[in-house]
Amino acid sequence: LTPAAQNLLVSLVLVQLARPDPNPSATTIAQTYNLARLLQANSTALLNTYLSAQGSPFSDPGFSAVGLRWAGVPVAPLPFLAWRTMGDAERLTRSYGAYAAFDAFLQLVWDDQAELCPGCSELLAMLGAARARTRGLLANLTSIMATMGIPAPPAADSLSLEATGVGAFERKCRGYVVCREYQGWIDRTVRDFTLLKAKYPA
Ligand SMILES: *[C@@H]1O[C@H](CO)[C@@H](O)[C@H](O)[C@H]1NC(C)=O
Ligand SMILES: *[C@@H]1O[C@H](CO)[C@@H](O)[C@H](O)[C@H]1NC(C)=O
């Protein structure tokens, strides 16, 4: 090879090396985004079905108690800049933590409703489906985090058995907060994955 040809070869090799690998998580990121988009309508329907099954005041038209919280239920809203400037690792770790908590809370709400409203088969089916989808989201998040080298948070069983020993009205309040924040988190996941999808195109 002439020196010129050698130079050309070296440059070609360097161009190959400099090209970033397509991100191996891109497909899972796109799948997670699609799943979250599909879940948006269902999480709104779950909240409305939940409220209408609880009787007054929950079923009253326009019922809302935005200030109501329940210890341990992950709160979705976040100031814009804090959300927008969050790094990938923190964004994914927080989502994982939230859905791990919803995995437990959706089971708890299912148990509460099976006792308080055994005839509410549609609501029970929706709660069961939401929990199954939550486990799917957790599987997706685990896979994305593993590929990106982000350590999975330790499995935390956030609920104590004492959670089962509360009165009917408190249970209804708790279920409302769980369904409302679950819906908020699905919306947040759509926004999170809109950002991630743009950053790691498939
Ligand atoms: C949304 O709910 C409908 C009816 O309950 C169900 O058939 C569908 O699979 C749900 N979609 C998702 C993404 O879970
Ligand atoms: C991610 O979720 C989608 C939709 O539920 C599923 O088809 C896919 O297998 C999941 N991928 C992983 C790696 O869990």
Q: Which atom of ligand 1 is nearest to the CA of 45?
A: 2
Averaged pLDDT, 116-145 = 96
Per the domain annotation, does 93 fall within a domain? yes
Rounded Cα distance between 83 and 191, Å, is 10
Length of the chain (residues)? 202
Share of residues in the chain with pLDDT > 70 (%): 91
184 is in which domain, residue-wise? Answer: 23-199
Q: Tell me which of 86 and 164 has the higher pLDDT.
A: 86
Identify the CATH number of the domain in which residue 110 sits.
Answer: 1.20.1250.10
Q: Which atom of ligand 1 is nearest to the CA of 126?
A: 5
* Predicted pLDDT at 59: 96
Per the domain annotation, does 3 fall within a domain? no
Per the domain annotation, does 16 fall within a domain? no
Q: Which helix (H) or strand (E) holds 154?
A: none
Averaged pLDDT, 68-91 = 94
Mutate to test the pocket of ligand 2, among 28, 131, 138, 142 (most ligand atoms within 8 A of CB): 28
pLDDT classification of 1: cutoffs 50, 70, 90: low
51-60 pLDDT, tens digit per residue, is 999 999 999 9
* Predicted pLDDT at 98: 96
Instruction: List, in order, residues 6 or more apart from 113 with CB less than 8 Å away.
Output: 50, 53, 120, 123, 124, 127, 175
User: What is the tally of structural domains in the chain?
Assistant: 1
Rounded Cα distance between 93 and 183, Å, is 19
- Answer yes or no: is pLDDT of 18 > 70: no
* Predicted pLDDT at 13: 54
pLDDT classification of 155: cutoffs 50, 70, 90: confident
Per the domain annotation, does 18 fall within a domain? no
φ/ψ of residue 159, rounded to 5: -100, 140
